[in-house]
Structure 1
């Protein structure tokens, strides 16, 4: 077979090639995916039905949960299917769609985390101007700009990665179509593509990190000037959940994409699993268990549901007695 054609299909080598490990991993990741869906859908529903949570911060958190659902769905179903299937081939078009979706939601999550840091900065450093600066119109504008820039970035990433010729081996040493393993299969010169990708990764990842860092430096300076220890503790507690989500997402992503090409190859899949599968599952727990307002809203919703259920039982019992 010649080497001047473009591959129509790829083979994903997956997480492991050990038959003994595939079934336990399937069960584990299926449970993680179910918890991810239930947790994030629950967060979205809770924010929608709780009037006390109709604030800019929870507006961003609702979309953060939505992105986590999509982000995980792009990766997990295909990964689960490959764990039980001997045929791990993926077409070029499906690989492109998966890559485009993955980079879109990943970039959007970067920007959204930066917006949430800015929201906390304004809430703590300029509380009297918070309603004016972070108005509903501004929230929608920030969100729309985030999605727009993420989409443009995803298109550019996809063109750079899939714009060359795939004429060599068609085995992708990963469980999904990611930048590094796919670029390794391109037989044309990828230097210019890598430079463009590096520039946009810098804009998305490092740019968002700078916004987050500057926001928290400003928050720290403001908190240290507070006279009351109770006010300082409340301010730190307000930022704790967001900071944990930032560390989980950016820590694993930077480990994966900012390492030298020859380093940590054996840990690449582990890092990828962490930020594509584990982090979307953990985020709902981070924001529900470490957030007093969310816990109070959960309790109120639980009480309303219990009271509604009790009322329904009473009506049902009364109807039966009347009929008898």
Structure 2
């Protein structure tokens, strides 16, 4: 257990807090070690699944298409997001001591905001790709080229990093007085803003003026793309044709649904008196979505299954030779 007065004894330099205390599961004394081991297993499984997809996408010539280029970037994000929190907290919770340096906390804020915002726009780009593939199949090769994919993905990564950097720089001006305990598994932007005892007007202004409008744009692109996709699928008279068209976007649609639902419950949920509820939602958002994404694509995608079989056959040949 973390001493209750630990936060009050945090060393301060020039009026600024030097470290924060992540609550994690440290207050659940009897479940701390089992949960920490569970988090570590989930993290390693997530790494294995997403790295396998990255390996297949980069090594199999049949997967050198725009859709799998986007999927490779999604796997990078699903590997990076839990690496910010799960790997650190698994070992920290295991020992029961989870102080986080101020600089480390800011780094977590920057990288998590960067990766989360990038995933918003990447899913929107992937939705547009599925829209062109299903609604405009004859124009797909002219409208969606590898060069355009690289430009779109690069723009998404650069814009998201700039937005996250603005938030991180604005967070530097915040002052933290008495409370330095974060009721979560890693440092999040909203939690730091709520903990601050200084003026947070600029931080909220940046969220409402820049963050929310662009998030709504990404959501609108995703939503409208699937509206047109469903309209096109419903016009197909042959049952086999409808199933084939839907199968090309079902995996992505499932991932989009999971991402938006968990994001909604993580950030839009009312403040619960029991902090455990908020932490359970955070686990679902941070831990399980990156774990489920490779599972969804692997189970529902015949091309990935074929690439895996070819990789296994090739590996057996190498071993036997």
**Normalization by structure 1: what TM-score?**
0.90
| Partner in structure 2 of residue 305 of structure 1 | 315
CA RMSD after TM alignment: 2.0
Trace 1:265-276 onto structure 2 (pairs within 5 A). 265-276=275-286
| Partner in structure 2 of residue 168 of structure 1 | 178
- Structure 2 contact 183–275 (Cα < 8 Å) conserved: no
State the 1:192 CA deviation: 3.5
State the 1:264 CA deviation: 7.8
The 2-side partners of 1:170 and 1:129 are apart by 55
State the 1:26 CA deviation: 1.3
Q: Which residue of 15, 27, 36 maps to 2:37?
A: 27
The 1-side partners of 2:74 and 2:165 are apart by 21
The 2-side partners of 1:77 and 1:170 are apart by 22
Q: Deviations over 1:84-138 (max 9, x none)?
A: 2243211111100111011111111111111111100000011111111110110
State the 1:195 CA deviation: 3.0
State the 1:189 CA deviation: 2.1
Q: Deviations over 1:145-170 (max 9, x none)?
A: 10011101111222333422112221
Q: Which residue of 145, 154, 157 maps to 1:147?
A: 157
| Partner in structure 2 of residue 76 of structure 1 | 86
The 1-side partners of 2:213 and 2:91 are apart by 34
Trace 1:1-324 onto structure 2 (pairs within 5 A). 5-261=15-271, 265-310=275-320, 312=321
- Structure 2 contact 183–279 (Cα < 8 Å) conserved: no
- Structure 2 contact 193–203 (Cα < 8 Å) conserved: no
Q: Gapped runs of 5+ residues in structure 2? A: 1-7
Secondary structure in 1 matching 2:24: coil
- Structure 1 contact 11–171 (Cα < 8 Å) conserved: yes
Q: Gapped runs of 5+ residues in structure 1? A: 313-324
**Normalization by structure 2: what TM-score?**
0.91
State the 1:143 CA deviation: 0.5
State the 1:261 CA deviation: 4.4
User: 1:276/1:27 Cα in 2 relative to 1: closer, same or farther (>3 Å)?
Assistant: same
User: 1:281/1:272 Cα in 2 relative to 1: closer, same or farther (>3 Å)?
Assistant: same
The 2-side partners of 1:129 and 1:252 are apart by 34
The 1-side partners of 2:211 and 2:283 are apart by 19
State the 1:12 CA deviation: 1.1
| Partner in structure 1 of residue 5 of structure 2 | none
The 2-side partners of 1:283 and 1:203 are apart by 26
| Partner in structure 1 of residue 3 of structure 2 | none
After alignment, is 102-111 or 257-266 more displaced?
257-266
State the 1:258 CA deviation: 2.2
